[in-house]
């Protein structure tokens, strides 16, 4: 066989392999043995999915309905990828995350080992986390893209996207009697100190909660470029010191 043909055949095989790789990364359903469809969620796993998943999805939807972005017609795909071929195929590049949302193709990947029966997953730091809250968080990212479009979301600062997702997924903890919970902020600070985890998401969640509840701005206004990180953080710190006595009163009731 002529050298030129060998090179051409090699390039064809290389392109074919690349196409298969991209397809499997974007549409990994074929890599998972188990599938459960419930309401507007499709859940994929290589292990049997306990029936507890129905209750988890029901509870997740209750939390998602607190967001004006909620859309019951939007289909959601969730993959439990721990120890899967997909995880090895993607190089395990997000192993430190609890989950991540793949924009544009609308896949939600739950990274750590999941215990559906207990509604938990185990982070890389060894701590247990609530599976339902992680599903809510990542699904909010899907709704953000659905509402504002892929390119708008791509240009939006991380603190707004992650902050809003955190705020909705943990609204019962972030909020206390209609105001921000200082006690939960202290708990988050203790976790940062103890586990050396990044403080970003919970701080972003409090910043978002402050803007939406204490200042009363709309979600569309939050997404506006005029809302800046440092100015919001400075306002939040000032507000906390002005109102901390009110939370002491709530704690005593």
Is the pLDDT at 252 greater than 70, yes or no?
no
Q: Is 50 exposed, middle or buried (0-12, 13-18, 19+ CB in 10 A)?
A: middle
In the chain, % of residues over pLDDT 90: 43
In this prediction, residues 124-144 reach a mean pLDDT of 89
In a domain, 36, yes or no: yes
Mean pLDDT, rounded, of the chain: 84
Specify whether 198 is located in the same domain as 89. no
- Please indicate, yes or no, if residue 23 is contained in any of the structural domains: no
pLDDT greater than 50 at residue 114: yes
- pLDDT, position 249: 40
Residue with tokens 């002491």: 248
What contacts 183, CB < 8 A, 6 or more positions away?
Answer: 176, 247, 251
- Return the pLDDT at 94: 67
Amino acid 24: pLDDT:
87
Q: Does residue 2 fall inside a structural domain? A: no
Residue 17 lies in a domain: no
Q: Do 181 and 210 belong together in one domain?
A: yes
> Bridge partners of 79?
44, 109
Contact indicator for 227, 221 with CB cutoff of 8 Å:
yes
Residue for token pair 């800046």:
228
pLDDT band at residue 244 under the 50/70/90 scheme: low
Tell me the pLDDT tens digit for each residue of 205-241.
Answer: 888 988 998 889 999 999 998 999 999 988 888 887 7
**What distance in Å separates the CA atoms of residue 216 and residue 207, rounded to the nearest whole number?**
12
Q: Residue 40 maps to which CATH number?
A: 3.40.30
Asked whether residue 238 is assigned to any structural domain, the reply reads yes
Backbone angles phi, psi at 21, to 5 degrees: -60, -50
- pLDDT tens across 45-57, in order? 999 999 999 999 9
pLDDT of residue 122: 83
**Are 146 and 134 part of one and the same domain?**
yes
Q: Is residue 96 part of a domain?
A: yes
At residue 211, the pLDDT reads 93
Q: Do 115 and 206 sit in the same domain of this protein?
A: no
Structure tokens at 50: 């306990």
Whether residue 96 has pLDDT greater than 80: no
Residue 207 sits in the same domain as residue 127: no
Q: Which two tokens stand for residue 117?
A: 């029966």
CB 77 within 8 A of CB 42: yes
What is the number of domains present in the chain?
2
Q: Which of 107, 133, 154 is the last residue of a domain?
A: 154
Instruction: Indicate if 35 and 150 belong to the same structural domain.
Output: yes
pLDDT at 64: 95
Tell me whether residue 21 is in a domain. no
Checking if the pLDDT of 84 tops 50, the result is: yes
Residues 143, 52, single domain; the answer is yes
- How distant is the alpha carbon of residue 26 from its chain centre? 18
Are 169 and 62 found together in one domain?
no
The residue count of the chain comes to: 253
Between residues 112 and 78, the one the model is more confident about: 78
Q: Determine the pLDDT at residue 186.
A: 73
Range of the domain at 214: 156-253
**pTM, to two decimals:** 0.85
Chosen domain end from 99, 120, 154: 154
> What per-residue confidence (pLDDT) applies to 92?
60
Dump pLDDT digits (tens) for 152-190.
Answer: 999 999 999 999 999 999 888 877 777 777 777 777 766
Question: Within this chain, do residues 160 and 150 fall inside the same structural domain, yes or no?
Answer: no
Residues 86 and 42 occupy one common structural domain: yes
Domain-located, residue 142: yes
Cβ-based neighbours of 86, under 8 Å, separated by 6 or more: 24, 25, 28, 31, 32, 79
Q: Are residues 138 and 212 in the same domain?
A: no
Number of Cβ within a 10 Å radius of residue 105: 11
Q: Do 65 and 161 have their domain in common? A: no
Final residue of a domain: which of 109, 135, 154?
154
Query: 81-85 contacts: CB < 8 A, separation 24 or more?
Result: 81/109, 81/110, 81/111, 82/110, 82/111, 82/112, 82/113, 82/114, 83/46, 83/113, 84/31, 84/32, 84/46, 85/31
């Amino acid at each position: 066989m002529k050298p030129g043909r060998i090179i051409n055949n090699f390039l064809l095989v290389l392109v074919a392999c690349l196409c298969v790789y991209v397809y499997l990364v974007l549409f990994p359903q074929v890599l998972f043995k188990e599938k459960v469809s419930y309401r507007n969620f499709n859940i994929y796993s290589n292990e049997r999915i306990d029936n507890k998943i129905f209750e988890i999805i029901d509870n997740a939807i209750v939390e998602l309905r607190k967001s004006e972005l909620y859309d019951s017609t939007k289909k959601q795909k969730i993959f439990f990828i721990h120890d899967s071929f997909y995880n090895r195929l993607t190089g395990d590049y997000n192993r430190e995350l609890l989950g991540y949302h793949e924009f544009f193709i609308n896949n939600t990947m739950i990274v750590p080992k999941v215990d559906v029966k207990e509604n938990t997953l185990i982070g890389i730091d060894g701590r247990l986390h609530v599976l339902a809250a992680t599903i809510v968080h990542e699904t909010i990212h899907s709704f953000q893209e659905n509402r504002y479009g892929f390119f708008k979301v791509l240009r939006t600062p991380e603190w707004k996207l992650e902050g809003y997702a955190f705020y909705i997924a943990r609204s019962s903890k972030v909020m206390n009697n209609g105001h921000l919970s200082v006690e939960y902020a202290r708990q988050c600070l203790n976790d940062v100190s103890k586990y050396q985890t990044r403080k970003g998401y919970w701080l972003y969640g409090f910043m978002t909660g402050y803007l939406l509840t204490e200042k009363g701005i709309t979600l569309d206004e939050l997404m506006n470029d005029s809302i800046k990180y440092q100015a919001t953080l400075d306002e939040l710190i000032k507000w906390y010191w002005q109102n901390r006595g009110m939370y002491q009163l709530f704690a005593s009731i």
